[in-house]
Structure formats: structure tokens, C-alpha cells
Structure 1
Amino acid sequence: MMYRFLIFFFLLSGSVISQQFSAKTAFLEKWKNSKDYLLEIAEQMPEDKFGFKPTDREMSFKDQLLHIRENMTWLGTTYFSLEQLDKKKLKENLPEKKADIIRLLTNAFDKVYTQIQNTKEDTLQTETDFFAGRKSKLQILNLLQDHVTHHRGQLIVYLNLNDIKPPKYVGW
């Protein structure tokens, strides 16, 4: 009897451990922290400085946020849902006010979270056509996070250039 219990225990604990440390679970935890950190950065910048850009060739603070939102909406919808995305609509009726931009960004983060949450773990190895060649859905997940991180780093510089102390870093 004890032997059966031990086998059951090890099988159950192995299943729980593999679920805890899955790529999807790791992404979702990081995605939530990434959302919180980016929104805190967005809140730090005063609304009258949302148009700030360090040089003419760079995007403004506001445009960086909207670009992040557009990219995550495109990747999340195209590769992790059955929904058809009209990319032109992503650029229509964009808000000007800080609160509205932050709400739009929040909704995009939440939508991607739900899309990934609803994605089956075993499909992350599936390759799909991408403009840069065939990529696995896991690679697309990595791109989602990497893109946010890239532009968030630029936004931190924008804050510093305006003598605004960025929020403390939030990692995993």
C-alpha cells in the first residue's frame, strides 16, 4: 500500500512541478510584471511631456507606448488567437490623453495575457510563417517580451532626460 502511495505522490508532484515551470507559466508571470513596470513608467511621465522625443528621428513618449501596444496586439492576435486582425484599425482613433493611452495599453497587455493563457503548452513548439522566416510560437512569445523590453528601455531614457526618476526595476 505504501508503495502505491509513493508512486502516486511522485507522479503527482512531477506533474505539478512541470506545470509550475512551463514556458507558458514563466511567460505569464513575466508578462504581468512587465505590464506593471511599463504602466508605472507611463504614469511617471507628466501628460504635458507625452509628446517628448529626444531627437526628430525618434518616436515620442506617447508614440512609443502606442507602438508597444500595436506590436503586442498584432503578435498576440495573429499568432495566439483565431481572431482576424485588421492592422489598419490599430492606428485609427488613437487617444491623445495620458489616461486613455494607459487604458489602451493595459487592455492590450490583458488581452495578450488571456490569449497566452488560453494557448495549449504543446502548441508552443509549432512553427508558423513569420516575416523573418519560420518561427516557433515560443519564439514569438520571446519576441513579444523582448519588444516591450526594448521600447521600455527607451522610455526610461526619456524619463531621465526630463529629470524624472524612473521607477525601481521589476524583473521576474
Structure 2
Amino acid sequence: MKNIYLLLFLISYTAMSQEITPKSAFLEKWKNSEAYLLEMAEVMPEEKYTFAPTEREMDFKNQLLHICGNMLWLSTTYFSEEEFDRKKLADNAPDSKSEIIKFLKKSFDEVYKRVTETSEESLITKVDFFAGPKSKLQILNLLQDHVTHHRGQLIVYLNLNEIKPPKYVGW
């Protein structure tokens, strides 16, 4: 009889440990998003990092830096106790392709670390945001949505330069 209880416990524990939560779903998607964006950054030749389709749009390099800045701002402000220093970030922006790719990796890793350290329960916490009160879960959605938005622009940049974008990476 003890073995049956142990077996039932192990089955239910295994099922619970594989539960998909908003946080675990975000973290899985975040890693895939990182891989996809890094492939795009790699495939664009360094001499094309200054390419912009029009004068109104950021060039390829500044699109990547903008993505990083937004990730670090949102994750620092809403998922840490640190102060976000926009000026320091701007003053220390990387310039070469290899430096930008390292910065991308570091930025994705920072978000991942901060979200990992955030409790699942705190995702319902409302925070002050310029667009009105939002939950931390909404901030997570914004983090991913913002990367996706600018990544879509980068796909166009690649295509305009006759560079085949990497194969889509989803969930």
C-alpha cells in the first residue's frame, strides 16, 4: 500500500513540476526570441549595420540598440530594485557588430535572470506605467511584443538588402 501512495505522489509531483505557468511560458519564448534575433544580427554584414530604408527610420544597428535599451529599461524598472540609467546606457553603447551581438546576448540574459528571480505570484502586481497602471505580466508581454515589433522591421531590412532572413523561430 505504501508503494501505491509513493507512486501516486511521484506521478502528481511530476505533473505539477511540468505545469506551464505565465512565467515559464515567457522564459521559453524569450530564449527562442533571443536565438532568432541573434541569427538576424549575425546574418547582416557589418557594413550594412548603417542601412536604413528611409531617413525617418533607425538604421539596423540602432534598431538593435533600441531593442536592448527597451529590454534593460523594462526589466530593471519593473523586475529589479536597481535604478535604470538611460544616459549611462547611451554613453556606453557598443559600435561594432561583434560588440552589439555581445550586448544583445547580455541584455537578453539580464531580462531572463530578472524574470527568473520574480515570483509567479508577483506577476499580478500592478505597477505605474506611462500608459497607466499595468500588471507585471503585462510588462512581460510588452517586453516580448517590443522585440517582435522591431525584429519584424529588421526582417524587412534584410530583405531589402537581398539577404535571406533566418528561418522563423516561434515558441
Task: Quote the residue 2:102 is aligned against.
Answer: 103
In structure 2, list runs of 5 or more residues that go unmatched: none
Distance 2:17 2:103 in 1: 35
Question: Structure 2: which amino acid aligns with 1:92?
Answer: D
Matches within 5 A, 1:143-154: 143-154=142-153
Distance 2:95 2:81 in 1: 30
Task: Quote the residue 1:38 is aligned against.
Answer: 37
Task: Quote the residue 1:54 is aligned against.
Answer: 53
2:170 partner SS: coil
1:112 partner SS: helix
Distance 1:46 1:10 in 2: 51
In structure 1, list runs of 5 or more residues that go unmatched: none
1:95 partner SS: coil
Matches within 5 A, 1:1-16: 1=1, 4-5=5-6, 8-9=9-10, 11-16=12-17
Tell me whether 1:166 sits opposite 2:165 in the alignment: yes
Give the share of equivalent positions with the same residue, in percent: 62
TM superposition score normalised by structure 1: 0.93
Task: Quote the residue 2:127 is aligned against.
Answer: 128
User: Number of residues paired by the alignment?
Assistant: 170
Task: Quote the residue 2:92 is aligned against.
Answer: 93
1:164 partner SS: coil
Distance 1:93 1:17 in 2: 41
Task: Encode CA deviations 1:36-74: one digit per residue, 9 max, x unaligned.
Answer: 100000111100010000000000000000000000000
Distance 1:144 1:124 in 2: 14
Task: Encode CA deviations 1:107-154: one digit per residue, 9 max, x unaligned.
Answer: 000110100111111100111100100000000000000000000000
Pairwise CA RMSD of aligned residues? 1.4
Distance 1:46 1:9 in 2: 52
Task: Quote the residue 1:76 is aligned against.
Answer: 75
Distance 1:78 1:36 in 2: 24
Distance 1:167 1:129 in 2: 37
TM superposition score normalised by structure 2: 0.94
Shift of 1:14: 4.5
Distance 1:95 1:156 in 2: 22
Tell me whether 1:22 sits opposite 2:21 in the alignment: yes
Distance 2:103 2:55 in 1: 25
Distance 2:155 2:69 in 1: 19
